[in-house]
Structure 1
């Protein structure tokens, strides 16, 4: 989900709810911050700059207040003005057992935290072997699928 999409959705909501992929909801007494970018060097010695809007959800001990859509919209507007945030993809950081990073989507009135995966960005220079192409045994000639001493497939 891009920043422009959440800006469009927030005014239509009465409350903000975030739900993990397993159905668990982020407690309603969270606070957030909005930031951008990450500079790093990968294992192939390539300097990289990742531009992404980062939302951080943190459980506060303040059970009396809830972040309303208008307040989050105001935080986003300030971030655009003061930090120069562009219309980028949103990544959400949320701490449960450990800090997790999630993509963001919306399902009606609920924001869904989508599971993300990581990968090596420099596999060709770091010695990471590429995944071997899998073969469908049903499509191979019988001579290549039978287990005989001369077939080389045992």
Structure 2
């Protein structure tokens, strides 16, 4: 979900509720303790230099049991962050404490913002030596490689 999407949802939302993709609710008394930009400049295993940027929201489950973050308050926090940090319309990554600080993508199911599990992946599969997917000879486009072909 991009920053523009959460802002649009907050325009008509009555509450701000989060849950994990397994259905576990983030306690209602959570705080948004940070909104920022995280930049990552790295080289992948295939030797390609890459850059990524995300808008980062950090949720904190405080012992402030009466606290409820209202949509208008979150809109103000986002607007201030955009102004001061010059945040672009980036994808949102959410940090939330589980066994350790977990990083999640953000979705919306019509009622709750959903913390979606992120997965690692190789960005250079063609260059780094990961196992190639086996294909049947009959799937190949070049008929000369078939047993009855004329290439040998």
TM range, normalised to the smaller chain?
0.7 to 0.9
Paired residues of 1:42 and 1:122 also in contact (CA < 8 A): no
Matches within 5 A, 1:123-138: 123=125, 127-133=128-134, 135=136
**What's the CA shift for 1:23?**
0.6
Matches within 5 A, 1:1-150: 1-32=1-32, 33-44=34-45, 46-123=48-125, 127-133=128-134, 135=136
Counterpart secondary structure, 1:10: helix
Of residues 36-45 and 91-100 in structure 1, the stretch that sits farther from structure 2 once superposed is 36-45
**What's the CA shift for 1:46?**
4.9
CA deviation string 1:26-66 (max 9, x = no partner): 11121111111323333546543211111111111211212
CA deviation string 1:61-112 (max 9, x = no partner): 2112121111111111011100010111111111112222111111112111
Residues of 1 paired with 2:115 and 2:63: CA distance?
22
Gaps of 5+ in 1: 141-154
TM superposition score normalised by structure 2: 0.78
TM superposition score normalised by structure 1: 0.77
Runs of 4+ in 1 over 6 A off after TM superposition: none
Gaps of 5+ in 2: 139-152
Aligned length: 136
Paired residues of 1:39 and 1:47 also in contact (CA < 8 A): no
User: What's the C-alpha RMSD, in Å, of the aligned pairs?
Assistant: 2.2
Residues of 1 paired with 2:31 and 2:117: CA distance?
21
